[in-house]
Each structure stands twice: as C-alpha cells, then as structure tokens.
Structure 1
Amino acid sequence: MHNEALLIARLFLGIPFIVWGVLKLRGGEAKLVPGLQALGLPDAVGFAYLIGLCEFVGGVAVVLGYPLSTASVLLGLWCLVTGYDAHRGNITELLKNATMAGGFFALAIAGAGSISLFGGAPGGLFADLP
C-alpha cells in the first residue's frame, strides 16, 4: 500500500506541473510575459517559455519518480518563490503554493517507491544522478 500511496502523491503533485508547462509552451506564456517584463527581464517571452519547459520537465520527473529528490526539492522551492512573488496579495493562492511545496519536500524525503522509473533505485550511469 505504501508504494501505491507514493504513486498517487506523485501523480497529484506532478500532473498539474505537466499541464501548466504544456499550457505555457502552447501560447499561454502571454499571460506571464507582462509580469516578467515588470521584473525588468530583457527577454520576458524567452523566459516564459523556459518557465514552461521547467514546469513540464519537473512534472514529468515527479510522475516518473526519477530523479525524484532533485525534481521535488526544486519544484518545492519553485512553489515558495512563485507563491511569494506572484501570489503574496492573495492568501489563498499563497497558501496553495506553500501546501504544494510541503508536499514536494515530503515526497523528496519519502522517495519514489518501487512503482517508479528504475523502481526508485537506478543502476549504471543513472545511479550517479541525484
């Protein structure tokens, strides 16, 4: 039951990031660009696509369960930073991001479980990745 619960947690945390990444990569970045321009970034459109790519790749890594610790910690930090930067005026959105960050940090500690890519313990060249 433990491995099934970890799979469900990975799906609940990873799938939204896959969806958000795909939406940004398919033209949804237009909503993000004005906020990035307000930060003074030189290429806000390029940065918006980079954000979409990071969200997509991070979500896929969490769903597959590899490299889970790295992806979970990075997405947890991502949630905290975006929560503070983009949602600090809306307590509900800020708490949503903080809750997701907690889930990612807990998942990083718990591990991927055996229902994951490489069964959570890769060998060979992939064993060297965090």
Structure 2
Amino acid sequence: MHDFGLLIARLLLGVPFVIWGFLKLRGGEAKLVPVLAGLGLPDATALAYLVGLCELVGGIGVVLGYPVRTFGVLLGLWCLVTGYAAHRKDLNAMLSHIAMAGGFFALAAAGAGALALFGGDPTGVLADVQ
C-alpha cells in the first residue's frame, strides 16, 4: 500500500509539470514571455523555453520516480521561487505553489517507492547526488 501511495503522489505531482512543460514548448511560452519580461528578466523568450524544458524533464523524472529525491527537491524549490516571483500578488496561486512545494519535499523525503524506475534508487553519478 505504501508503494502504491507513493506512485499516486508522484503522478499527482509530476503529471501537471509534464503537461505545463509540454504546453510551454508547444507555443504556450507566448503567454509566459510578457510575464517574464515584466519581471525585468533578460531574453524572456529563451527563458520561457527553458522553463518549459525544466518543467517537462522534472515532471517526467517525478512520474518515473528516478531520481525522485533530486527532482523533488529541485521542483519544490522551483515552486517556492515561482510562487513568490510570479504569484505573490495572488494569494491563492502563491499558496498553491507552497502546497506543491510541500508535496515535492515530502516526496523527496519519502523516496519513490518500489513502483519506480530502478526501484527509485539511482546508480552511477546520480547515486552520489542523493
């Protein structure tokens, strides 16, 4: 039951990031560019594509559960930074980002469970990261 619960958590946290990343890479960056430019960030178009790529890769890593501890921490920090930087004027959006960050940090602490790629345990270079 524990491993099944971790699989559900990984799907609920990772799939939205896969979708958001895919949409940004398929033309959705046009909505993000004005927001990034409004924050005063340089080269907003390239940064929007980078955001999409990070969300896609991170979401896939969480869904597969490999290496979930690394991606959990990175996406948790991502949610905190984007919640503050882009949504601090919208309390509900900022709180949802904080809640997602909490889910990612809890997943990073719990691990991927047995129902993950390689059992959630990375090998090689990634084994040293965790």
TM-score bracket for the superposition, by shorter chain length: over 0.9
Structure 2: stretches of 5+ with no match in the other structure: none
1:12-37 superposed Cα distances (whole Å, 9 cap, x missing partner): 00000000000000000011101111
- Give the TM-score of the pair, scaled to structure 2: 0.94
Deviates more, 1:32-41 or 1:62-71: 32-41
Residues 90, 42 of structure 1: CA spacing in aligned structure 2 closer, same or farther, 3 A cutoff?
closer
CA separation in 2, counterparts of 1:125 and 1:98?
30
Structure 2 equivalent of residue 105 of structure 1 = 105
- Give the TM-score of the pair, scaled to structure 1: 0.94
Structure 1 equivalent of residue 48 of structure 2 = 48
Structure 2 equivalent of residue 95 of structure 1 = 95
Structure 1: stretches of 5+ with no match in the other structure: none
Structure 2 equivalent of residue 117 of structure 1 = 117
2:62 touches 2:68 (CA, 8 Å); kept in 1?
yes
Structure 2 equivalent of residue 2 of structure 1 = 2
CA separation in 2, counterparts of 1:123 and 1:24?
31
Task: Kindly provide the amino acid, as one letter, of the partner of residue 40 in structure 1.
Answer: G
CA separation in 2, counterparts of 1:7 and 1:70?
16
2:16 touches 2:59 (CA, 8 Å); kept in 1?
yes
Runs of 4+ deviating beyond 6 Å: none
1:67 touches 1:129 (CA, 8 Å); kept in 2?
no
RMSD over aligned Cα, in angstroms? 1.3
Q: Identical aligned pairs, as a percentage? A: 67
Count of residues paired in the alignment? 130
